[in-house]
């Protein structure tokens, strides 16, 4: 399967692209089994009884291991990220063809079956997030429990602070509207790209036990101002869909894991495509041409698309 010129143009303009039905249904089913099999038999949440799926996880079901984190409404099973079924799912020949169209011929760095999953080394700093770049496969299976009667909340977008080229969120089960799907802020990649000091990374303040207050990712004032503006002036797009759909997104696209106001657990697999030249390209600051590290076809494509196509992308 090849992306059309319209799909490429849409991705270039909006920083995301929903591609329907590209993941194998049997592998999606295997991934769901893998998620549920990781739950102890004694858990209050029972796979075949949806009435037990409403979050947050109760005290007994909470798990703080970063390889299989269950906290609040979030369940992030990362240990499976380098197992064959997950890698076959995210690095299938279909998805390699698509990612190659975006990132260029012979540029994809393959994942490593049996390699180090994300979360192996715990949080990047005490109380901080896990570094998604410290990983040789998929980020893992990310699930969000239904919020039940929790009041509606405001959306807050962020960007990811680790080096990668192209993000992917793949639905391993159908996700309804407002059901915790990946949310993106269209066009944010073009506005944020020039506000970073480096083209892929975000500098980090190291953590020291005797100097605990100042730590984590350092943002430029330009970035902080722009992401706040984006949050205020751009309506987010909810990437709901059916089993096998994927969302591809530019590494600087503002996004969030949607709030789950449905009565169904949101189940998705996250993967970052990286180019084999990322080790060299990450030393550069933002390029004059933000498409420098992308395929020639994408560099050349006009960022135009039809209204019906935009509708199919939940933009209108």
Ligand X SMILES: O=C(O)CCC(=O)C(=O)O
- Residue 272, interface with Fe ion (CB under 5 A)? no
Give the Cα separation of 248 and 14 in Å (integer): 11
| Region for 313 from its dihedrals, namely left if φ exceeds 0, alpha if ψ lies in -120 to 50, beta otherwise | alpha
164 makes contact, choosing from ligand X, Fe ion, none, with CB < 5 to 8 Å by partner type, with none
**Minimal CB distance to ligand X: which residue?**
257
- Residue 293, interface with Fe ion (CB under 5 A)? no
Min separation Cβ 74 and ligand X, Å: 8
Closer by beta carbon to Fe ion, 257 or else 315: 257
Min separation Cβ 183 and ligand X, Å: 8
Min separation Cβ 2 and ligand X, Å: 26
- Residue 160, interface with Fe ion (CB under 5 A)? yes
- Residue 90, interface with ligand X (CB under 6 A)? no
Query: Of 286, 101, 90, 75, which is closest to residue 199 (Cα–Cα)?
Result: 286
- Residue 239, interface with ligand X (CB under 6 A)? no
Query: Of 151, 141, 170, which is closest to residue 239 (Cα–Cα)?
Result: 170
Q: Which of 63, 136, 160, 226 touches ligand X (CB under 6 A)?
A: 160
The bridge status of strand 166-171 relative to strand 246-250 is antiparallel
Give the Cα separation of 117 and 115 in Å (integer): 6
Q: Which of 8, 124, 169, 184 touches ligand X (CB under 6 A)?
A: 169
- Residue 226, interface with ligand X (CB under 6 A)? no
Of 100-108, 148-156, 158-166, 276-284: span binding Fe ion (CB under 5 A): 158-166
Closer by beta carbon to ligand X, 142 or else 193: 142
CB contact at 8 A, 20 and 314: no
Footprint of ligand X (CB under 6 A): 142, 160, 169, 182, 255, 257
């Amino acid at each position: 399967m090849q992306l059309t010129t319209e799909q490429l143009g849409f991705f270039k303009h909006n920083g995301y692209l929903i591609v329907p039905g590209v993941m194998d249904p049997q592998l999606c089913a295997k991934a769901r089994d893998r998620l549920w099999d990781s739950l102890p038999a004694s858990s209050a949440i029972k796979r075949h009884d949806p009435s037990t799926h409403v979050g947050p996880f109760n005290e007994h079901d909470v798990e703080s291991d970063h390889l299989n984190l269950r906290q609040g409404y979030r369940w992030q099973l990362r240990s499976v990220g380098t197992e064959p079924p997950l890698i076959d799912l995210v690095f299938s020949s279909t998805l390699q063809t698509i990612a190659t169209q975006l990132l260029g011929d012979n540029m994809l760095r393959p994942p490593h079956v049996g390699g180090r999953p994300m979360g192996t080394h715990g949080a990047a700093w005490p109380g901080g997030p896990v570094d998604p770049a410290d990983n040789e496969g998929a980020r893992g299976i990310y699930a969000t429990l239904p919020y039940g009667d929790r009041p509606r909340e405001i959306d807050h977008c962020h960007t990811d602070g680790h080096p990668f080229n192209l993000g992917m969120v793949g639905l391993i089960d159908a996700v309804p509207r407002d059901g915790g799907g990946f949310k993106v802020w269209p066009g944010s990649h073009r506005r944020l790209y020039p506000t970073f000091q480096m083209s892929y990374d975000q500098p980090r303040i190291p953590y020291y036990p005797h100097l605990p207050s100042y730590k984590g990712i350092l943002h430029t004032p330009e970035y902080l101002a722009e992401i706040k503006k984006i949050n205020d002036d751009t309506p987010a797009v909810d990437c709901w869909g059916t089993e096998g759909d994927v969302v591809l997104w530019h590494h600087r696209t503002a996004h969030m894991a949607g709030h789950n106001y449905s009565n169904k657990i949101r189940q998705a697999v996250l993967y970052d495509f990286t180019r084999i030249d990322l080790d060299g390209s990450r030393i550069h600051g933002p390029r004059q041409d933000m498409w420098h590290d992308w395929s020639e076809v994408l560099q050349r494509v006009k960022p135009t698309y039809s209204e019906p196509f935009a509708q199919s992308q939940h933009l209108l």
